């Protein structure tokens, strides 16, 4: 991954919708906001999407279909909860995303690779948000 793209991942605001009025924002290398730490408890979490694989734009209908597939795969895992989310870059781009609680890193890596993602944000309990770059 080139430096500009890596910098974009680090600069992105990762917004999570907890209910109809409550949103919290994750930043890479910072601890989870209090609202999310409470929702996560001691479980692992991730912020992931199926939009725009390999950081290349594709038609909205294809993105929506892939996102539905990702959501279904996550919902089929026992003990996993999913919240709607939105990644917003500093240049104004945005991607619908998912905040996932309870999925293991191996399952997330597999799903991210299936959907052509170069990286995703993850963490354990209320620790710092980490960027997981996939090769």
Q: Nearest Cα to 111, choosing from 92, 127, 97, 93?
A: 97
Instruction: Give this prediction's pTM.
Output: 0.95
Task: Phi first, then psi: give them for residue 116, nearest 5 degrees.
Answer: 70, 25
pLDDT tens digit at each of 135 positions of the chain? 899 999 999 999 999 999 889 999 999 999 999 999 988 999 999 999 999 999 999 999 999 999 999 999 999 999 999 999 999 999 888 999 999 999 999 999 999 999 999 999 999 987 899 999 997
């Amino acid at each position: 991954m080139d430096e500009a793209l890596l910098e974009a991942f680090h600069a992105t605001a990762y917004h999570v919708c907890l209910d109809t009025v409550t949103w919290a924002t994750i930043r890479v290398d910072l601890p989870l906001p209090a609202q999310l730490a409470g929702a996560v408890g001691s479980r692992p979490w991730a912020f992931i999407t199926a939009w725009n694989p390999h950081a290349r734009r594709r038609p909205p209908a294809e993105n929506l279909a892939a996102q539905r597939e990702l959501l279904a795969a996550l919902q089929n895992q026992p003990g996993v909860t999913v919240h709607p989310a939105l990644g917003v870059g500093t240049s104004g781009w945005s991607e619908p995303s998912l905040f996932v609680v309870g999925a293991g890193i191996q399952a997330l890596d597999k799903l991210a690779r299936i959907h052509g993602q170069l990286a995703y944000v993850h963490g354990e309990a209320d620790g710092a948000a980490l960027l997981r770059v996939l090769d």
